[in-house]
């Protein structure tokens, strides 16, 4: 073997080692990518527990408001006080039962601090719940204020607020959207 053969052998060996280094780098990349997906699934699983609590609390509030609106004749003194929908149940004057529904969702400190770590789909659902709750509060409180507290004197620009069917449709659509997203994320 002459000197040129040795150089060719060293160059070939270096090329093989370089190729193996590139293959190893690609292998490590895919291994880390799989590991990151696994970590993201674990984060989402933990966050989904708290999202479920928040969504179920919201669904309960929607169901309570739907029951109240569908059975308005059974209740008296229906009114809004800050974030609360207050009413009296029972037609007996000597023993009325007072109730309230807080229309705002309770803040979940863990979810509020960690929602940024959620996957895009879960993060969007968390934002949807918050925006739907805000819309739920606005539509429900406007309906109660104008349909029960100021009914004779409703200004024309707020007359749409007393449309009971519009509110009921919104509440049902909101329930369906939340349930659909919960089912999608739980799979």
Render pLDDT for 100-117 as a digit per residue (tens, 0 to 9): 889 998 887 777 777 777
Q: Which two tokens stand for residue 49?
A: 């527990």
Q: What is the pLDDT of residues 56-85, one digit of tens each?
A: 999 999 999 999 888 887 888 888 888 998
pTM for the model stands at: 0.74
pLDDT for 153 equals: 62
Other beta carbons within 10 Å of 55: 22
Please state the domain count of the chain: 1
Domain extent for 182: 3-186
Query: How far apart (Å, rounded) are the C-alpha atoms in residues 175 and 58?
Result: 9
Q: What is the pLDDT of residues 152-182, one digit of tens each?
A: 665 555 555 667 888 899 999 999 999 999 9
Per the DSSP assignment, residues forming a β-bridge with 101 are 85
Torsion, Cα of 171, 174, 178, 115 (10° steps): -110
Starting at the earlier edge strand, list the strands of the sheet with 97-102: 75-81, 84-89, 97-102
Q: Which two tokens stand for residue 59?
A: 């669904």
Query: How far apart (Å, rounded) are the C-alpha atoms in residues 174 and 134?
Result: 12
Q: What mean pLDDT, rounded, does the chain reach?
A: 82
């Amino acid at each position: 073997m002459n000197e040129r053969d040795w150089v060719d052998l060293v160059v070939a060996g270096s090329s093989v080692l370089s190729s193996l280094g590139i293959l190893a780098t690609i292998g490590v990349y895919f291994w880390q990518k799989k590991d990151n997906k696994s970590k993201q699934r674990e984060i989402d699983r933990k966050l989904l527990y708290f999202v479920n609590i928040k969504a179920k609390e919201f669904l309960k509030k929607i169901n309570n408001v739907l029951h109240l609106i569908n059975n308005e004749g059974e209740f008296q003194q229906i009114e809004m006080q800050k974030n609360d929908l207050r009413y009296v149940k029972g037609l007996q004057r000597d023993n009325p039962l007072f109730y309230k529904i807080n229309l705002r969702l309770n803040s979940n400190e863990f979810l509020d601090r960690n929602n940024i770590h959620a996957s895009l789909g879960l993060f969007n659902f968390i934002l949807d719940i918050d925006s739907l709750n805000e819309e739920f509060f606005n539509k429900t409180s406007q309906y109660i204020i104008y349909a029960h507290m100021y009914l004779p004197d409703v200004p024309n620009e707020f007359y749409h607020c007393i449309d009971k069917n519009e509110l009921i449709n919104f509440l049902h659509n909101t329930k369906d959207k939340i349930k659909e997203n919960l089912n999608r994320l739980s799979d």
